[in-house]
A = this chain, B = another copy of it.
Amino acid sequence: MLRDPKIPDATIERISLYSRPLEKLLSSETLVVSSEKLAELCKVNPAQVRKDLSYFGEFGVRGIGYGVRDLLTEIKKILVSDREWRMAIVGLGNMGMALVQHENFSKRGYRFVVAFDPDPGKVGAPLTNGLTIRALKEIPSLIKELEVEVGVIATQAGQAQAVADMLAAAGTKAILNCSPIHIRQQESCLVENVDFTVNLDNLAYHLGKKDKPRVP
């Protein structure tokens, strides 16, 4: 599935980041925030904030700032995070258990409604969130029955692609892949690969440059 080429994914990701400090400001009853303040809280520059938000129409008042509540409401509409998303987890090793227990998911509207594991020894085991681990062969029926929209893959490398194919065939519209390998984009299903080594490469690049300046 192709993504809209007009709005960069980096913009979408920053828009999502902007919502974190806005939630804190709202709960501390701050009414207005300037692009400078929001930029500082998110560690980007103010021009970037203004440019990112301008993709989605006119927000804010020149010289005053953005209304915190209005901006947050708009961002949630843009990100379609003003609703609940029904998710499946596949793979209940350490990574899968960490994801199921992750406090931010349900807080932000991402709810696990079913859990699968390839290991027959784990099938039937209860999870702390009230779910019971199901077998992979139940993927086709349960994804449809429970109206799962997003599949989260936390299996070992060797199983990830086959699981992604099963999820896509069952009607899952998007996959967050937290396995150690990158999986292929599916025709009918968006794939987002989580890769910690990309974050580490980014840090290493900045550290390396600090130690020994490169001549371009």
Chain A residues near B (Cβ < 8 Å): 1, 3-5, 8-10, 12-13, 15-17, 20, 43, 45, 55-57, 78-81, 85, 93-95, 97-99, 101-105, 108, 110, 149-150, 157, 173-174, 176, 178, 180, 182, 185, 190, 192, 194-210, 214, 216
Contact = CB atoms under 8 A, between A and B. Distances in A.
B201 A16 contact: yes
Contacts of A94: 94-95, 97-98, 101
Contacts of A176: 196, 199-200, 203
Contacts of A205: 12, 78-80
So how many copies of this chain end up in the complex? 2
Contact of A200 (B15, B93, B108, B199): B108
Contacts of A20: 182
